Amino acid sequence: MRDVCVVGLGLIGGSVLRAAVAAGRTAWGATASAEDAGLAGADGFDVVDLAEALGRARESDALVVLAVPLPAVEEVLRRLPPDVRLTDVVSVKGPVADLVRRSAPSARYVGGHPMAGSADSGWAAGEAGLFAGAAWVVTAEDDADLEVLGDVLRLALDAGAHVVPTTAAEHDAAVARVSHLPHLLAAVLASVGADGGPLALALAAGSFGDGTRVAGTRPELVRAMCEGNRVALLAAVDDALGRLGAARGSLASTGGLAKTIDAGHAARAALVERQRAELTEVTVDLGSPRALEALRALGSRGGRVVGFDGTTVRAQTA
């Protein structure tokens, strides 16, 4: 099993390090946070300074996992050894790929994004099982290094996740709709409710509680996530504004909301249906000439990679 070097030991990076060690790998980490470093060291993990961590990665040809916030990515990229095996766990993929092209062009980079988290942050909030059952996006661009792609697949599968292969652009557009827009709408709804004063909050029940829950997430995390995906989020917000504006117009003119409510109900039913759907097993030979294309098509259909033996990818599709 390939060695793993995790840079950044917050909730996600700390959980990746734990999961790698739990899977029997040689793994170590570095972090700019003295608090996270101290806690991780006290928990028995191998934490060294960044230069030492990257030096070891060069010697053992380890997979480096970038787990720092987007604004800190570039500084780490500049310090990477040449030709390093590189992935990341940042919640937006296009901007990270751009930074890698600019600041670490020799890196053998395949982007990643485990879709797991919690309202808490820092090493103390992490756990080896954080990714169990979660989706872990892996970018399978045309120029992807197949060896490193395999490394990332194995790391994600070792952590108990299933892998969703796609491109950076498709990932960013999708998470804008199903993760960043929900956070923005939750913030808007919470504010509109609070504007109603104590009476409104006293009458708030399930729908308001559900609709505002993620507004409780630490604002700096939400901002970093949403602002980092600006272009794709703008498109999703415009879609939402268009639909909400159409509902407003219909309510004002005819008094009816059938189109909006019925479409939303059908969409929610599709989500629930998807989660219950029977899946078909398929395989992709990672050595075949159209392997990357096949993996991306799998992701576009909502499929997932559930196994990899070093040659053959085992996947499920609806």
Choose which of 48, 240, 282, 306 interacts with a second copy (CB under 8 A). Answer: 240
Other C-beta atoms closer than 10 Å to the C-beta of 43 total: 14
Q: How far apart are CA 132 and CA 157, in angstroms?
A: 9
The CB-of-179 to a second copy minimum distance in angstroms stands at 6
- Which 272-301 positions form the footprint of a second copy (CB under 8 A)? 272, 274, 299-301
The CB-of-193 to a second copy minimum distance in angstroms stands at 5
Decide if residue 222 touches a second copy (CB under 8 A).
yes
Please give the single-letter amino acid code of residue 252: A
- CB contact at 8 A, 138 and 53: no
Question: How far, rounded to the nearest angstrom, does the alpha carbon of residue 55 sit from its chain's CA centroid?
Answer: 27
Choose which of 26, 33, 60, 260 interacts with a second copy (CB under 8 A). Answer: 260
Decide if residue 255 touches a second copy (CB under 8 A).
yes
Q: How far apart are CA 95 and CA 139, in angstroms?
A: 13
**Paired tokens of 116:** 């797991």
Decide if residue 101 touches a second copy (CB under 8 A).
no
The CB-of-285 to a second copy minimum distance in angstroms stands at 23
- Which 135-164 positions form the footprint of a second copy (CB under 8 A)? 135, 137, 164
Decide if residue 248 touches a second copy (CB under 8 A).
yes
Decide if residue 261 touches a second copy (CB under 8 A).
yes
Other C-beta atoms closer than 10 Å to the C-beta of 177 total: 16
Decide if residue 17 touches a second copy (CB under 8 A).
no
| Residues linked to residue 27 through DSSP beta bridges, in sequence order | 4
Q: How far apart are CA 187 and CA 181, in angstroms?
A: 10
Decide if residue 241 touches a second copy (CB under 8 A).
yes
Decide if residue 115 touches a second copy (CB under 8 A).
yes
Other C-beta atoms closer than 10 Å to the C-beta of 100 total: 21
Residue by residue, DSSP assigns 1-41 as: ---EEEE--SHHHHHHHHHHHHTT--EEEE-S-HHHHHHHH
Question: How far, rounded to the nearest angstrom, does the alpha carbon of residue 170 sit from its chain's CA centroid?
Answer: 13
Decide if residue 23 touches a second copy (CB under 8 A).
no
Helix (H) or strand (E) segment spanning residue 210: helix 206-212
Decide if residue 78 touches a second copy (CB under 8 A).
no
Choose which of 237, 307, 312, 314 interacts with a second copy (CB under 8 A). Answer: 237
Choose which of 42, 51, 192, 279 interacts with a second copy (CB under 8 A). Answer: 192
Stretch that binds a second copy, among 18-26, 56-64, 223-231, 282-290 (CB under 8 A): 223-231
Decide if residue 191 touches a second copy (CB under 8 A).
yes
Decide if residue 71 touches a second copy (CB under 8 A).
no
Decide if residue 91 touches a second copy (CB under 8 A).
no
Choose which of 303, 308, 313, 315 interacts with a second copy (CB under 8 A). Answer: 303
Decide if residue 173 touches a second copy (CB under 8 A).
yes
* Structure letter (DSSP) for residue 62: P
Decide if residue 194 touches a second copy (CB under 8 A).
yes
- Is the CB of 31 or the CB of 179 nearer to a second copy? 179
Q: If you search the block for the tokens 């101290």, which residue do you land on? A: 38
Question: How far, rounded to the nearest angstrom, does the alpha carbon of residue 16 sit from its chain's CA centroid?
Answer: 13
